Amino acid sequence: MTSYDRVMSIFTGDIPDLRPVVPQIFGVTARLNGYRVYQYVTDGKVLANSQIRTRKELGYDILYVFADLLVEAEAAGCKLHYNEDAYPHLLAPVLQDLDSLKELPLPLPEIDGRMPVLLEAARLLREHVGNECIIAACVVGPITLASHLIGIERFLYKLIDEPEKVKGLLDYTEKVVEVYGSELIRAGAHCLIVFDPVSSPDVIPSSYFLQLESERLKRLYKHFSLLGLPISWISIAGPTQRIIPYYKESGINLATIDYEVPISEALSLSNGIVINGNLKPYDFVSDNPADIEEKTEACIREAEGKGSFIIGTGCEIPLEARPDNIMALVRVSRGLQ
Amino acid sequence: MEVALELRDLIEAIIRGEAEAAVIIADSLLQQNVPCESIIENGLTEALRSLDTKCTNEEFNLLEIMLAGRAMVSVLDEVITPRLPSNSPHSPDKTIVIGTIKGDIHDLGKQVVKTLFSARGFRVIDIGRDVEPLDFVRIAIIEGAHYIGVSSLLTLNIPFIREIKRILRNEGVNNIKVIAGGAAIQQTRPEDLDVDYVAKDAFDALHYIDRDLKE
């Protein structure tokens, strides 16, 4: 069975030959292959090579087209500061107020910012693995992108002070995600993960997710499913118990959850969608392989018989993680089949 | 309106994040000769307590706390501070130096800490973002701070956080406690960061300080 079939079996109800393992493993693949993170986030070849080599070495079941959470924001005009061996950060949002939105053009994925870099990475990965492994490309959710375009503090206040204008901004960001996500699939990605940290109940009340994001996600997933695989994947960290029950009606069928939600609780709230998680990412830095084996085993046992589940990490494995810890995750997951 | 009822309205306006309403109510209380100290104790501090309870019940989210913080700061800036004598018992007597560690520029959480600690009566010295570990220590010593609050969203900067305590030890300073907070580092333990406490959120940091001051 290929990695692709192994992951898909969780959706189709077939019995996989081995337990699929899907950790969030991005920039650390650069470091493990002797690249600086700057190279990884700005060069599609480096990104694709890092992903391919690390998966070959460590043996998990996914490939990612992910640089950082600011690709869409930069393409729309935000200024970033690049670090040599860390992810870039937002230097200046493109919007100072919501009235300037009407002057903001939609980014062109083949031209603007680093979108072409990510499209190249998707093409290279697909050329290399074909349909042997699922290639998941990452986009940010409309709420998260909106917070980048105007700055998060200003965005949160605008949610209350100018709610109608915020809806206009979200219409724009939804369109950006749709256009860019569609190109990623056309370039070779099988499916998309929507990263939406600002929609976390840690940041905004869960009612805002339902009022402002849920319908937009539903439209986006419907659109993407017609272009690629019918995997509609969301990744939101934090205490997501109050929004997980609404994932299914938002069109989501795979959700990555982090350590703040016990895996058994997430499965009980999931309405039958697939849950991915929820090992603590920092443990891959601070623990040793024996600890990781123990925690992986405990997580799998907790999920057993409670619903559709794919073992992984609840958020990105840090750049400074130990590769032997990632190996331990894969080893014990396979062994517990 | 009865003062007690109006104080209750003030608390509710702050919790709902209604800055304009909170300022109007606080002003009305002053017109009724309610002392500033009473507005702080029975209005702002009570509002903080309610928010804290909400946070403990895990209904906490950043937006609601920011809005409440904005309302509280508006009351302080527009109504209380201009009328508060400089030798008031509410003048700050504990100082905390806060900043985002070197390599990180996220400061939203730090802003919330600044607001809540100021409202609680601390002298808060915000030294900004992307701050060298040595600068945390240098400024804390110069300002006679009791605490250093270090914020980071990223685990990548943990080696810089660890530097703070090492520099304090090298300087022979053992009376400044270091508290860390921020999204990703909540996964860590104090010994991972070499700090005195890893706070889950701003209120958790306040609780730690309350316990520490009682010891």
pLDDT in tens, B130-163: 899 999 999 999 999 999 999 988 788 898 999 9
Mean model confidence pLDDT for chain B: 88
CB count, 10 Å around CB of A132?
12
A169 vs B41, more confident: A169
Chain B residue whose CA is closest to A282: B187
Angstrom distance (rounded) from CA A192 to CA A19: 22
Angstrom distance (rounded) from CA B191 to CA A300: 28
Q: Does A210 touch chain B (CB under 8 A)?
A: no
Domain residue ranges in chain A: 34-55+63-132+135-230
Angstrom distance (rounded) from CA B62 to CA B68: 10
Task: Give the mean model confidence (pLDDT) for residues B164-174.
Answer: 96
DSSP chain B: --HHHHHHHHHHHHHTT-HHHHHHHHHHHHHTT--HHHHIIIIIHHHHHHHHHHHHTT---HHHHHHHHHHHHHHIIIIIGGGS-TT-TTS---EEEEEEBTT----HHHHHHHHHHHHTT-EEEE--SSB-HHHHHHHHHHTT-SEEEEE-S-GGGHHHHHHHHHHHHHTT--S-EEEEE-TGGGGS-HHHHTSSEEESSHHHHHHHHHHHHH-
Write out chain B residues lying below 8 Å of A282, CB-based. 155, 184-185, 187-188, 192
CB interface of B with A, residues 97-136, below 8 Å: 103-106, 108, 111
Instruction: Enter the tokens of residue B107.
Output: 């400061």
pLDDT for B126 equals 94
How confident is the model over A259-273, as pLDDT tens digits?
999 999 999 999 999
Task: Tell me which of B64, B101, B156 to substitute to probe the interface with A (most A C-beta atoms closer than 10 Å).
Answer: B156
How confident is the model over A220-254, as pLDDT tens digits?
999 999 998 889 999 999 999 999 999 999 999 99
Task: Give the mean model confidence (pLDDT) for residues B37-53.
Answer: 85
Percent over 70 (pLDDT), chain B = 93
Angstrom distance (rounded) from CA A49 to CA A137: 15
CB count, 10 Å around CB of A167?
12
Q: Which of B170, B165, B171, B160 is nearest to B148 (CA)?
A: B165
CATH topology of domain A34-55+63-132+135-230: TIM Barrel (3.20.20)
Domain B95-214 CATH assignment equals 3.40.50.280:
yes
The least confident of A38-42, A249-253, B9-13, B51-55 is B51-55
Q: In CATH terms, are B3-83 and B95-214 the same topology?
A: no
Residue B90 has pLDDT above 60, yes or no: no
Instruction: Enter the tokens of residue A121.
Output: 């990475």
Domain residue ranges in chain B: 3-83, 95-214
- Give the β-pairing of A309-313 and A232-235: unpaired
DSSP A140-175: E-HHHHHHHHH-HHHHHHHHHH-HHHHHHHHHHHHH
Residue B88 has pLDDT above 70, yes or no: no
Instruction: Enter the tokens of residue A277.
Output: 């998680």
Name the amino acid, one letter, at B208: Y
Q: How far does the CA of residue A156 sit from the closest CA of chain B (Å)?
A: 6
What stretches in chain A show pLDDT beneath 70? 336-337
What architecture (CATH level 2) is domain B3-83? Orthogonal Bundle (1.10)
Residue A146 CB partners (closer than 8 Å, separation 6+): A155, A166, A169, A170, A172, A173, A198
Do the beta carbons of residue A309 and residue A263 sit within 8 Å? yes
pLDDT for B86 equals 58
Q: Does A88 touch chain B (CB under 8 A)?
A: no
pLDDT for A301 equals 96
CA B138 to chain centre: 21
